[in-house]
C-alpha cells in the first residue's frame, strides 16, 4: 500500500505489551491518517467519560499517507487523545522530522495506552519497538533528554517527540514537541503524555517510503522548490524569509492583534515584535521541516538580558501575540525567552500567553492580589513577571499551579467574577485572531471540536482578497461575502474550508505550503496510486469532523459549549474595534445555520443518522445519545 507503512503500533505502558496491527487498505483510504485515525480509535476504543489524565486515555500519534514522502509540507504528524483542557476531542499537529522518521521506521500510527509505573520512553527503530527506562531523564528540559537518549542509543540522527517538565507536571495545555522546536501545541496532549509517564518517543528508521509514481512525486516536489526559490525573500503571502508575524502593523490597524487579553486594541509599537525586527536583530537562520523548501521557522539567539538557546527555535506569530501584545508586552527578547521556556517545558505558547494575560487582567482588577501571585506585580506589560510566570507554570510553583489548569478552571477556582476574563472556548484558550473582526472565524472558534483553534478554521480577512476567493470558487463558493456577514454564504465558506483543513490534518499536509487543491490531490494520487477526487477528499474532511463531533457529544459536550467567551460580545475598550462586537443573536443564528447546513439538529447540534450513513460511518451513530 503506497504511501503507508501499513502497520500500526499499539503500546500498553501498564503491562508493557507491544502489538502491531495491519488494517486493510479501505481502512486507510476511509480514515486516511492524522485526525481520521485519532477520531476512529477514540470513538471505537476509549470508554465514555474517561478522565483524560487517567491511564484509560489513549495517546495517539498518527501520520498520513504523505508523511515522509520527500515533498514540501509532508513533515507533520498529529497527536491526539481525549483533551484534558476540553474533555473532548483532542488533537494537534506538529512539524519537524519526527513524522518522516517514524514512517521510515515502519509505522503509520502509535496508540499508547495505560500508564507506566515509572517514567519510560519508547524506542522505535526499523519495525521494532521497546519500552525503556526514563527515570534518569525525567524532569529534564527536552534538549537535555534528547541528547542523553541519542547518546545512550548511540545514534545522533534519532528523532524525538518529547515532553518537558510542563508535560510531566500535567500542565493542562502542555504540548508535545518534535525535534526540540516543532510543537503540537493545542489541546494538552503533553499532559496526556505526562500522565502516562512517557517522557519521549525516540525513532530511527532506514526504510523507504514507497510511492506509486515516483516521477510524478519528484516533479511535484520540484515545482514547489522552484516556486519557493523564485519567490523574493520577505515578499507577502506566507512570508518566506520571515516566517509568520510579518504583518503586525496591519493587525494593529485592523484591530486584529489581540492586546491585553483581547481587552483593547492599543499597541503603539507593533514593529517591536514583528518578524521583520526579528530578522534584523536576533535571527540566526531560517529552518525548515522535513523536505520543505519554504523554511518558515525562525531560529533566534539572544544573549542578554535573557539568554535564549537557539536549539529551541524562535517565536511564531501566535507566540509573539500571545506572550507579547496579549500581555501588553513589546519586549521582543522577553517574548523569545518565554518562548524558549515554553519549548523547554513543552507548554503551548498560546495557552500560556492567554492564561497569563487572564491572570494579568484579574490582577489589574483586584481579583488576584500580590499575595496571590507570590509578590509578582502582574500588571499588563510586565515582561519580567511574564517570563517568571511561564516557568512557575511549567513547574506548577505558587500561582503557576493554578494557572497550569488553564483559564477556565483557574477562573472557577479564583471566583469573584474572574470568569469574565477567561477567554476560552470549551476550556481551550483563544488563539491570536480577533473574532470581533473575523466573524466566521469566531463562529469557527465556537463550533470547533477542539475548542478555540485557528488551524482548521478560516481567516475570513484573507477572503477580502480576490485571489483567495478565486481559490475557493473551486469549491463552488461563488459569491464574495463581506467580512462582517454571518449569513448562509459565509457559513458555507467556513464549512467547506473546515473540510479542507481537516483534510490537511488527515493527509498530514502542512496548511502553510501554498499547494492548490489540485496539487494536493495530485500528490495523494501520485503517492498512493488511488484515483481519488476532490469529492472523496472533501467527504473525508466532513466524515472526520462528524466523528469528532460525535465523540464530543458522547463526552457530554453540548450545543451550549459551541459558544464564544463573553469578552467578544463587548467592543474593545479602545482601539479600532471600540465600537464593534459580536452580536450574540447573530452568532446564535449563524450557529443554527451551521448546524443545519451540516445536517445536524438545528438546536442540539447532533449529527443526523442519515448524514453519518452518507459519510460511510453509520457505525458512529451508536455512540450518540439517541440512536
Candidate list 532, 578, 589, 604; residue touching its own copies; CB under 8 A: 532
Candidate list 517, 563, 580, 604; residue touching its own copies; CB under 8 A: 517
Stretch that binds its own copies, among 95-103, 160-168, 325-333, 536-544 (CB under 8 A): 536-544
Q: Are 374 and 345 in contact (CB under 8 A)?
A: no
Q: Give the shortest CB-620-to-its own copies separation in angstroms.
A: 12
495 in contact with its own copies (CB under 8 A)? yes
Q: Give the shortest CB-587-to-its own copies separation in angstroms.
A: 17
Cα Rg of the chain, angstroms: 22
Alpha helices in 555-627 (DSSP H): 584-597, 609-614
Candidate list 518, 566, 603, 622; residue touching its own copies; CB under 8 A: 518
Comparing CB distances to its own copies, the nearer of 393 and 503 is: 503
Q: Give the shortest CB-624-to-its own copies separation in angstroms.
A: 14
d(Cα 430, Cα 348) in Å, to the nearest integer? 12
> What's the first-to-final CA gap in the chain, in angstroms?
35
Q: Give the shortest CB-458-to-its own copies separation in angstroms.
A: 16
Helix and strand tally (H, E) in the chain?
A: 22, 16
Strands 8-12 and 109-113: parallel
Residue 579 vs residues 186, 264, 270, 574: alpha-carbon distances, Å: 31, 11, 22, 9
Interior CA angle at 512 toward 466 and 504, to 5°?
100
Alpha helices in 248-404 (DSSP H): 248-254, 275-281, 317-322, 332-345, 349-364, 383-395, 399-403
466 in contact with its own copies (CB under 8 A)? no
536 in contact with its own copies (CB under 8 A)? yes
Q: Give the shortest CB-27-to-its own copies separation in angstroms.
A: 9
535 in contact with its own copies (CB under 8 A)? yes
Comparing CB distances to its own copies, the nearer of 393 and 620 is: 620
d(Cα 13, Cα 130) in Å, to the nearest integer? 11
Q: Which three cell numbers stand for residue 139?
A: 524532569
d(Cα 368, Cα 351) in Å, to the nearest integer? 19
Candidate list 475, 483, 580, 624; residue touching its own copies; CB under 8 A: 475
Q: Give the shortest CB-12-to-its own copies separation in angstroms.
A: 30
613 in contact with its own copies (CB under 8 A)? yes
Comparing CB distances to its own copies, the nearer of 101 and 108 is: 108
478 in contact with its own copies (CB under 8 A)? yes
d(Cα 172, Cα 189) in Å, to the nearest integer? 8
* Residue 468 host element (H or E): helix 466-473
Q: Are 305 and 337 in contact (CB under 8 A)?
A: no
Candidate list 369, 533, 558, 583; residue touching its own copies; CB under 8 A: 533
How many chain residues interact with its own copies (CB under 8 A)? 45
Alpha-carbon torsion (381, 383, 386, 392), positive or negative: negative
Candidate list 133, 226, 470, 603; residue touching its own copies; CB under 8 A: 470
Stretch that binds its own copies, among 25-33, 215-223, 318-326, 388-396 (CB under 8 A): 25-33
159 dihedral zone (left: phi>0; alpha: psi -120 to 50; beta)? beta
624 in contact with its own copies (CB under 8 A)? no
Q: Give the shortest CB-517-to-its own copies separation in angstroms.
A: 6
d(Cα 36, Cα 229) in Å, to the nearest integer? 34
User: How many CB atoms lie under 10 A from the CB of residue 29?
Assistant: 17
550 in contact with its own copies (CB under 8 A)? no
Q: Give the shortest CB-614-to-its own copies separation in angstroms.
A: 4
The alpha carbon torsion through 507, 510, 514, 516 (nearest 10 deg) reads 10
Comparing CB distances to its own copies, the nearer of 413 and 535 is: 535
Q: Give the shortest CB-602-to-its own copies separation in angstroms.
A: 7
Q: Give the shortest CB-74-to-its own copies separation in angstroms.
A: 22
Site map (CB under 8 A) of its own copies, residues 163-202, x = contact? ----------------------------------------
133 in contact with its own copies (CB under 8 A)? no
Comparing CB distances to its own copies, the nearer of 223 and 580 is: 223
Comparing CB distances to its own copies, the nearer of 384 and 602 is: 602
Candidate list 35, 290, 345, 530; residue touching its own copies; CB under 8 A: 530
Candidate list 232, 366, 476, 627; residue touching its own copies; CB under 8 A: 476
Comparing CB distances to its own copies, the nearer of 556 and 610 is: 610
89 in contact with its own copies (CB under 8 A)? no
Q: Which three cell numbers stand for residue 157?
A: 540522527
Q: Which of 565, 580, 482, 587 is nearest to 254 (CA)?
A: 580
d(Cα 512, Cα 545) in Å, to the nearest integer? 21
Q: Which of 509, 503, 498, 499 is nearest to 454 (CA)?
A: 498
Alpha-carbon torsion (470, 474, 475, 479), positive or negative: positive
Site map (CB under 8 A) of its own copies, residues 575-594, x = contact? ------------------x-
Comparing CB distances to its own copies, the nearer of 469 and 569 is: 469
Comparing CB distances to its own copies, the nearer of 374 and 616 is: 616
Q: Is 627 exposed, middle or buried (0-12, 13-18, 19+ CB in 10 A)?
A: exposed
595 in contact with its own copies (CB under 8 A)? yes
610 in contact with its own copies (CB under 8 A)? yes
Binding residues for its own copies (CB under 8 A): 26, 29-30, 470-471, 473-476, 478-479, 488-489, 491-492, 495-496, 517-518, 530-540, 593, 595-599, 602, 608-611, 613-614, 616, 618
Amino acid at each position: 500500500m503506497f504511501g503507508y507503512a501499513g502497520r500500526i503500533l499499539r503500546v500498553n505502558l501498564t503491562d508493557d505489551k507491544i502489538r502491531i496491527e495491519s488494517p486493510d487498505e479501505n481502512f486507510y483510504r476511509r480514515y486516511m491518517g492524522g485526525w481520521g485515525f485519532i477520531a476512529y480509535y477514540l470513538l471505537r476504543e476509549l470508554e465514555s467519560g474517561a478522565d483524560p489524565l487517567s491511564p484509560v486515555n489513549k495517546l495517539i500519534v498518527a501520520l498520513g499517507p504523505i508523511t515522509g514522502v520527500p515533498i514540501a509540507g509532508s513533515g507533520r504528524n498529529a497527536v491526539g487523545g481525549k483533551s484534558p483542557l476540553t474533555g473532548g476531542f483532542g488533537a494537534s499537529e506538529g512539524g519537524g522530522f519526527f513524522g518522516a522518521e517514524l514512517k521510515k521506521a515502519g509505522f503509520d500510527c502509535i496508540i499508547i495506552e495505560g500508564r507506566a509505573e515509572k517514567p519510560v520512553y519508547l524506542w522505535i527503530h526499523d519495525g521494532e519497538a521497546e519500552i525503556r527506562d526514563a527515570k534518569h531523564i525525567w524532569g529534564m528540559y527536552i534538549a537535555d533528554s534528547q541528547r542523553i537518549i541519542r547518546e545512550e542509543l548511540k545514534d545522533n540522527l534519532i528523532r524525538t517527540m518529547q515532553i518537558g517538565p510542563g508535560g510531566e507536571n500535567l500542565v493542562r495545555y502542555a504540548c508535545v514537541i518534535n525535534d526540540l522546536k516543532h510543537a503540537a501545541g493545542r489541546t494538552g496532549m503533553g499532559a496526556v503524555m505526562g500522565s502516562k509517564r512517557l517522557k519521549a518517543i525516540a525513532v530511527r528508521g532506514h526504510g523507504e517510503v514507497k510511492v506509486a509514481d515516483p516521477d510524478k512525486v519528484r516533479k511535484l516536489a520540484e515545482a514547489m522548490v522552484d516556486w519557493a526559490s523564485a519567490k523574493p525573500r520577505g515578499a507577502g503571502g506566507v512570508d518566506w524569509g520571515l516566517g509568520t508575524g510579518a504583518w503586525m502593523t496591519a493587525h494593529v490597524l485592523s484591530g486584529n492583534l489581540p492586546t491585553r487579553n483581547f481587552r483593547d486594541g492599543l499597541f503603539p509599537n507593533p514593529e517591536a515584535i514583528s518578524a521583520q525586527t526579528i530578522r534584523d536583530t536576533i535571527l540566526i537562520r531560517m529552518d525548515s521541516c522535513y523536505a520543505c523548501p519554504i523554511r518558515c521557522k525562525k531560529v533566534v539567539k539572544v544573549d542578554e538580558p535573557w539568554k535564549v538557546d537557539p536549539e529551541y527555535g524562535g517565536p511564531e506569530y501566535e507566540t509573539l501575540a500571545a506572550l507579547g501584545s496579549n500581555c501588553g508586552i513589546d519586549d521582543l527578547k522577553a517574548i523569545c525567552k518565554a518562548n524558549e521556556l515554553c519549548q523547554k517545558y513543552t507548554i503551548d505558547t498560546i495557552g500560556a500567553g492567554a492564561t497569563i494575560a487572564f491572570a494579568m487582567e484579574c490582577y489589574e482588577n483586584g481579583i488576584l492580589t500580590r499575595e496571590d501571585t507570590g509578590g509578582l506585580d502582574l500588571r499588563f506589560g510586565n515582561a519580567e513577571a511574564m517570563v517568571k510566570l511561564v516557568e512557575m507554570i511549567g513547574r506548577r510553583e505558587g500561582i503557576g499551579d493554578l494557572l497550569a489548569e488553564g483559564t477556565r478552571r483557574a477562573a472557577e477556582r479564583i471566583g469573584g467574577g474572574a470568569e469574565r476574563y477567561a477567554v476560552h472556548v470549551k476550556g481551550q484558550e483563544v488563539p491570536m485572531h480577533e473574532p470581533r473582526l473575523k466573524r466566521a472565524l469566531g463562529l469557527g472558534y465556537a463550533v470547533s471540536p477542539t475548542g478555540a483553534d485557528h488551524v482548521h478554521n478560516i481567516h475570513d480577512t484573507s477572503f477580502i482578497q480576490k485571489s483567495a476567493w478565486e481559490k475557493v470558487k473551486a469549491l463552488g463558493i461563488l459569491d464574495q461575502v463581506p467580512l462582517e456577514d454571518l449569513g448562509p454564504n459565509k457559513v458555507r465558506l467556513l464549512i467547506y474550508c473546515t473540510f479542507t483543513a481537516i483534510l490537511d490534518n488527515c493527509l498530514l499536509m502542512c496548511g502553510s505550503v501554498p499547494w492548490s487543491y489540485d496539487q494536493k490531490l495530485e500528490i495523494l494520487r501520485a503517492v498512493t496510486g488511488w484515483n481519488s477526487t476532490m469529492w472523496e477528499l472533501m467527504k473525508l474532511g466532513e466524515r472526520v469532523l462528524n466523528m469528532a463531533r460525535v465523540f464530543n457529544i458522547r463526552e457530554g459536550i453540548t450545543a451550549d459549549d459551541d459558544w464564544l467567551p463573553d469578552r467578544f460580545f463587548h467592543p474593545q475598550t479602545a482601539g479600532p474595534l471600540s465600537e464593534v462586537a459580536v452580536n450574540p443573536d447573530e452568532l446564535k443564528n449563524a450557529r443554527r445555520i451551521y448546524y443545519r447546513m451540516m445536517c445536524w439538529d438545528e438546536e442540539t447540534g447532533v449529527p443526523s443518522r442519515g448524514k453519518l450513513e452518507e459519510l460511510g460511518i453509520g457505525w458512529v451513530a451508536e455512540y450518540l445519545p439517541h440512536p
